Amino acid sequence: MKPLARWSVRHARALWRAWAALSRLAMPLAPALRRLGLNRVEGWLLPVERRLKGALFDCRMCGQCELSATGMACPMGCAKRMRNGPCGGVRADGSCEVHPGRACTWVQATAGDAAIAPGHLPGWTQRVPALDARREGRSSWVRVFEAPAAPAPVPAPALAAAPVDSPLLMRQRRGEFIVTVEIAPPDSPDPEALLARARPFAGLADAINITDGAGANCHMSSVAAAAVLRAAGFEPVCQVACRDRNRIALQGDVLGAAALGVRHVLCLTGDDVSQGDHPGARPVFDLDAVTLLHTLQGMCERGQFASGRRLERPLQLLLGATANPFVPPFAERVANLERKIDAGARFIQTQFCFDLDRLRDFMDAVCARGLHRRAAIVVGVGTLSSARALRWMADHVPGVQVPDAVTARIAAAADARAEGRRIAVETIHALRRIEGVAGVHLMGHKNEATLAQIIVEAGLRPAPVAHAA
């Protein structure tokens, strides 16, 4: 962030007040300027706006400025163009996942929010709309002089949609503990390779997540893998990342997943491409997780695409999102979660939990806002086979924080794998005592048998009965 942009964050309250005052002063001029022609007015304003905002905010001229909602830190400076809060890959020191030498834009935005509204929840909880590419390079100031907007049209009435038949929803309503697991799709067109990874969880997990190019590595598509699992009698959660597709493709893919029987969709922004096996790929990030949720919620509740065009039938999906309470900016994580729930998320899966104290702080804030009653908070738990593997994950997987005490305990154990299981079981027992935690989400790369064993050892589900041949 440029020095003047950092100054703007520190003085966000003064700049916010100045903008509000100037907007009020400009209003009496609006009728005359509209008669003169706003295109002409924009031609006068644009050079000044570009230079002033470029200097003060490192502005990229998206044409849809929302600085008052982002702490006077321009979200277009984010490498992923996150407009509704930080991604889950922020580093422990608050630096950007993509550009480690630069502070995360949303760490700066949180500081600006605190300056604008001292004592209030940082991040403001209103949703910032998805970018309209048609306005890029145009003036945001000229919108002050536009005629008052007509009343927002009443949303189209919802089509007759049946309730989602979801095991996650049913367990939450009964107050039962949810168990989900995550597996990576194979690098093979053979469905058996995928089913072999899923079988250890038969009778143990309520749903199985299928990653969507996790780590920016290429595998079988999440939609296809979810359909394979559904046909085999498993309950899949199809993950959908914004990194690789624009809003047209995202809506089409989810519509296709629903047609194949998928009932759960997890919305993610996506990892940085530079860390994967195709670092030369061009990321898309047309939407972020919040705007994707809002788009899919419209397809479910109103039976409409983002364009407003009607679907023949609404989608019947339970939408989910992710949260990472373990990396900065910590206060903004709760605001970001609220935006996701407001946008339609009904289940939340977190990053790996190795720090119970940090999670307790997060859940205290979540419960204080009643968010645990609006969505099932399912906390990530996992294990790896060695201290070396844990250190590698902490160093290379964005957003994962592993306390030194955990790594040291596994390194000192005679049987590192068994010690990792014990830590996971202990973590699950502790999570069950934390208010607002609705379940656990188990993760471990190609470690399915161990994860299934943890589910049984933690007393989450009884061991499946082996059938005689």
Residues in the chain: 469
Q: Quick one: which of 277, 256, 258 has its CA closest to 187?
A: 277
pLDDT value of position 100: 87
Q: Quick one: which of 317, 382, 392 has its CA closest to 354?
A: 382
Question: Is there a cis peptide before residue 236, judged by omega within 30 degrees of 0?
Answer: no
What is the rounded distance in angstroms from the CA atom of residue 135 to the CA atom of residue 246? 17
Does residue 105 sit in helix, strand or coil? helix
Based on C-alpha coordinates, what's the Rg of the chain? 24
pLDDT value of position 424: 95
pLDDT value of position 469: 47
pLDDT value of position 389: 84
Q: At what angle do helices 330-342 and 289-297 cross, to 10 degrees?
A: 20
Domains of the chain, CATH where assigned: 3-145 (no CATH), 167-457 (3.20.20.220)
What is the rounded distance in angstroms from the CA atom of residue 333 to the CA atom of residue 85? 8
What is the rounded distance in angstroms from the CA atom of residue 292 to the CA atom of residue 289? 5
Helix spans in 97-160 (H): 105-116
Q: pLDDT tens digits for the chain (469 residues)?
A: 678 889 999 999 999 899 889 888 888 999 999 999 999 999 999 999 999 999 999 998 999 988 888 889 998 889 998 989 899 999 888 999 998 888 899 999 888 888 887 755 544 556 788 899 999 999 999 988 887 766 656 555 544 445 688 999 999 999 999 999 999 999 999 999 999 999 999 999 999 999 999 989 999 999 999 999 999 999 999 999 999 999 999 999 999 999 999 999 999 999 989 889 999 999 999 999 999 999 999 999 999 999 999 999 999 999 999 999 999 999 889 999 999 999 999 999 999 999 999 999 999 999 999 999 999 999 999 887 788 888 888 787 778 888 888 889 989 999 988 999 999 999 999 999 999 999 999 998 888 999 999 999 999 999 987 655 4
CB 238, CB 224: distance < 8 Å: no
CB contact set of 332 (below 8 Å; sequence gap of 6+): 85, 86, 106, 109, 110, 113, 122, 123
CB contact set of 443 (below 8 Å; sequence gap of 6+): 181, 182, 352, 380, 381, 382, 451
pLDDT value of position 331: 83
What's 372's DSSP letter? G
CB 75, CB 66: distance < 8 Å: yes
Burial class, 347, CB count within 10 angstroms (exposed 0-12 / middle 13-18 / buried 19+): buried
pLDDT value of position 160: 47
pLDDT value of position 425: 97
What's 195's DSSP letter? H
pLDDT value of position 126: 64
pLDDT value of position 281: 95
CB 244, CB 213: distance < 8 Å: yes
Does residue 158 sit in helix, strand or coil? coil
